[in-house]
Structure 1
C-alpha cells in the first residue's frame, strides 16, 4: 500500500490549516508596512515555492540596502498579474512558459530561449523581465507505479486510449488553459473521465493521487514528493508543456540597474536541484526565511 511521506503529510497539514487564514488579504494595506515610493513590494503566488522565491528576492534586496515589503500568497496568475499592473506589487517570481501562455495563448515557443524571447515581447507595457534562471519547475503529469503498470503508461500520449477511465487532478484554472485540458485534448487527443479541481500541484493533489481519488495529477518537476513516493512522470513527447524557467518580473517604475544586478545574480545562482532541496526543507517544517537565508549565504548573496 502506498503511503504519504512525512514531508507530504506535513504539507497536507499546512493545507488543512488554511481555513484559519481565509480572511487574510495579502493585497490589503498594513499599518506597519514600509511606505514611500522607493519601497519594492514583492509578491508571490499561493504555493510554497513561489513564496520561497519571493522571500529570496526580498532578502537579497534587503541585504543590499533596499527597502522591501512582502505581500505573499496572493493567489493564481489571474489575480497577481492585475496586482502587478495596478501597482499593488512591484516584483514577483514567475515561470516563463506559463506566463507566456497566460499572455499569449497561441504561442508555439517551447525551448528556454524561444520562450524568453517571446515572453519579452508579450509582456504588458510597464512590466519588464530580468534574466531567466536555468532553474525550471515544469508542469508534468504523474501517476502512481500501480496506475502506470495497469495501463502501460510511459508517456502522456499513452493516456489517450484509456482516458475515459482516468480522473485527472489539477488546479481549477487547468480546465481552461492551453497547457492544460485544452492542449491535452487538442495535441494528445485525451478525453478524461473528469477533472477534479484541486490545489496547484500541492498536498491536496498529491493526497488525491496517492489515495486513488484521481489516477493522474498535474505536479511539478521540483516537487520532492515525486521521488519520495516513487511516482511515474509521463514523458511529454509532443511538447505540450513549454520551458518554465524561473524569472523575476518587475514594474519598470521600480527597475534600476542596482536592483537588476541583485536579482540577476540570484537567477544566475539558482538551479533546479537547489529548488528540489529547498522545497524538501519547507515540507519538513522549516520556514521560508531560514531556507532562503541559508541558500543566499551558500551563494554569497547576503
Structure 2
C-alpha cells in the first residue's frame, strides 16, 4: 500500500487493498445529533479503521491522533479487510473514517476507469463514492503505488531518469509479481505507451518484497516493480523512474468517510494532515515500524505529527 501487498492484488480490482477478516464493530452511532463536540464535528465517536497492512495502520493512527488533538472523540478499529468489507462498514457505522488510496478506490467503483493524474482521479472519485453516501477529502502528495525501479548505479551508467529511457537499454529483464505480465500498467502498457517491448519477464511472488529487491540489486533483473513507499528504496539506493505519460494511475493517500460525519471542522483537520504528508514520509514511517526499530504504529504516527507541527 503499497502499497501494495499480495493481499491488495487479491481483492479483485486493479491493485486493491489487503484481504483479511473484518475486525469487530463500533458501538458508536455516527448518525446521532450534534451536542457540541469540542472538535466541531458530530457528537458521535469517530471510529477510524485501516486495512490489514502496516502502512494503513500507521495512517489510521495519524488520522486518529490528529483528530484527538483537535478535540474529537476518537476510537480505532484497525486491520479490517478489503473494500468489500470496509465500504459496508463505513455505511453501517462500524467505522466511519479510513485512510484510502485514490486510484485503487476508484478502481473498486469502476474497473475500466481511464483517469490517471491525481486531479482527474480525485474528481471522478468524488462522484463515485457519493453513491454510497461516502465522502473523500483532499489527497496528500504521498503515494503508494507500483513503480518501475532500477539501481542508482544502473541508472547512472545508462542515463536513465524515466520509464521512456528504458528504450535505450533493451533488451533487459524485469522482475515483478506474475500478474504484472498482463496488467495494463505492466508489460503490455510498457510496450503500448512507451514502445519498450524487448523485455524478459521474471515473475516473483513477493510483490516487490525481498526476493524482488534482491534480484534487482544483484542484477538478476535490471528493472523491477517495487512500491513507492518501500523502505528498500532508501536502504538499497534504488531509483524510481519517472512516468511522464502516467502509465500508472495516481495512488495518493486520502481520507474516505461516511457522509454522516462530514463537517468543515473535520475536513480542516484531515486536510491539514494531507497537506503535510509526503511519499518520503511514508517510506520513513514504514522503515521505523517494519524495520529494525520495530516502533509501534502509534509511536511513529505521534512523532510524525509532532515533526509536522500538527499536534
Question: Hey, what does 1:196 align to over in structure 2?
Answer: 204
Structure 1 CA distance for aligned equivalents of residues 185 and 101 of structure 2: 13
Deviations 1:162-206 (A, max 9, x none): 888624223x7656653445533543454653433323x444543
Please, which runs of 5 or more residues in structure 1 have no aligned partner?
Answer: 1-23
Q: State which of 52, 72, 78 in structure 2 corresponds to 1:71.
A: 78
Structure 1 CA distance for aligned equivalents of residues 181 and 53 of structure 2: 19
- Give the 5 Å matches for 1:211-290: 215-282=222-289, 283=291, 284-290=293-299
User: What's the CA shift for 1:131?
Assistant: 1.7
Q: Quick check: 1:42–1:71 contact (8 Å CA) kept in 2?
A: yes
Structure 2 CA distance for aligned equivalents of residues 46 and 163 of structure 1: 38
Q: State which of 112, 121, 128 in structure 2 corresponds to 1:115.
A: 121
User: What's the CA shift for 1:224?
Assistant: 3.7
Structure 2 CA distance for aligned equivalents of residues 62 and 289 of structure 1: 13
Question: Hey, what does 1:28 align to over in structure 2?
Answer: 23
Q: Quick check: 2:118–2:250 contact (8 Å CA) kept in 1?
A: yes
Number of equivalent positions: 273
Cα distance change, pair 95–163 in 1 and its aligned pair in 2 (3 A): farther
Q: Quick check: 1:137–1:220 contact (8 Å CA) kept in 2?
A: yes
Structure 2 CA distance for aligned equivalents of residues 66 and 175 of structure 1: 46
Question: Hey, what does 2:306 align to over in structure 1?
Answer: 297
Name whichever of 215-224 and 246-255 sits farther off: 215-224
User: What's the CA shift for 1:141?
Assistant: 1.1
Q: Quick check: 1:209–1:217 contact (8 Å CA) kept in 2?
A: yes
Give the TM-score of the pair, scaled to structure 2. Answer: 0.70
With CA pairs under 8 Å and 6+ residues apart, which has the higher RCO, 1 or 2? 1
Structure 2 CA distance for aligned equivalents of residues 85 and 208 of structure 1: 43
Cα distance change, pair 137–249 in 1 and its aligned pair in 2 (3 A): same
User: What's the CA shift for 1:247?
Assistant: 1.0
User: What's the CA shift for 1:246?
Assistant: 1.8
Cα distance change, pair 261–176 in 1 and its aligned pair in 2 (3 A): farther
Deviations 1:143-173 (A, max 9, x none): 3357668988654345579888624223x76
Please, which runs of 5 or more residues in structure 2 have no aligned partner?
Answer: 1-18, 30-43
